[in-house]
Amino acid sequence: MILDLKDLKTAEKQYYLQHVVAPRPVCFASTIDKAGNINLSPFSFFNLFSTNPPIVIFSPARRMRDNSTKHTLQNVLEVPEVVINIVDYDMVHQTSLASCEFPAEDNEFIKAGFTEEPATLIRPPMVKESKVKMECIVLEVKPLGSEGGAGNLVICEVLRMHIADELLDDNKKIDQRKLQLVARLGGGNRAGQFGQLVDFLAVDTEYHVAGLQPGFLRGAARFHAADQRALRLRQAE
């Protein structure tokens, strides 16, 4: 099947793109408007784009059914600050509840059963139950279109991270196995949980110089230290 996206309806574009551009990490954004109303909402159009400066971007899209915008987008245009709370497995069902379309004056912290925790540098509160929180300022909001389904890139600079001590090893590094991240897949309510780690081969250009062909690696699920030693022995032949 070959698809020309210009020939598809917006919902069809979303369907196919979301199923293949996945898994997507979840940005659980807490924001505030000028009147002090707090909003908490998840977004899976989200990722890390720079480390120096530390930039993350998420995108609240315009609703396809009526072209309206979300409270999160309205809030960051009024108060350009956001806490990005990282979602783990323990939070996934409450996070989904917070995605419901409550009135602006309703606080999703209360509706979804989360606990507000004051941020240290910005006005929106943090989610206490989240094991990693990032306090951010919004540098720019870049609209990608004016019709339903169009994204709005919220470009954020991370000022401060709050990382639960329980996630750290003896060297103050994050043990990825302890952070049970979840991510959005293609279906409307489907989320993937990532607890099993896959070890990628630490490839370098010397393998190619030594005549090792890519076909030697094709079809392998994972490589452990013993596999890498075997490859280096082969390289030395």
4: which 2 tokens? 């020309």
pLDDT, tens digit (0-9, with 9 covering 90-100), for 206-230: 544 444 555 555 555 444 555 555 5
If one compares 111 and 155, the residue with the highest pLDDT of the two is 155
pLDDT, tens digit (0-9, with 9 covering 90-100), for 14-43: 999 999 998 899 999 999 999 999 999 999
State the fold for domain 5-194. Answer: Pnp Oxidase; Chain A (2.30.110)
On average, the pLDDT of the chain sits at 86
What pLDDT shows up at residue 122? 98
The string over 42-74, giving b where at least 16 C-beta atoms fall within 10 Å of a residue's C-beta and e elsewhere, is: bbbbbeeeeeeeebbbbbbbbebeeeeebbbbb
Spatial contact of 102 and 108, defined as CB atoms under 8 Å apart: yes
What pLDDT shows up at residue 69? 87
pLDDT, tens digit (0-9, with 9 covering 90-100), for 67-82: 888 999 999 999 999 9
If one compares 221 and 129, the residue with the highest pLDDT of the two is 129
pTM: 0.83
Section 175-204 average pLDDT: 72
pLDDT, tens digit (0-9, with 9 covering 90-100), for 155-166: 999 999 999 999
What pLDDT shows up at residue 187? 74
pLDDT, tens digit (0-9, with 9 covering 90-100), for 91-105: 988 998 998 888 888
Domain ranges of the chain: 5-194, 205-236
What pLDDT shows up at residue 77? 98
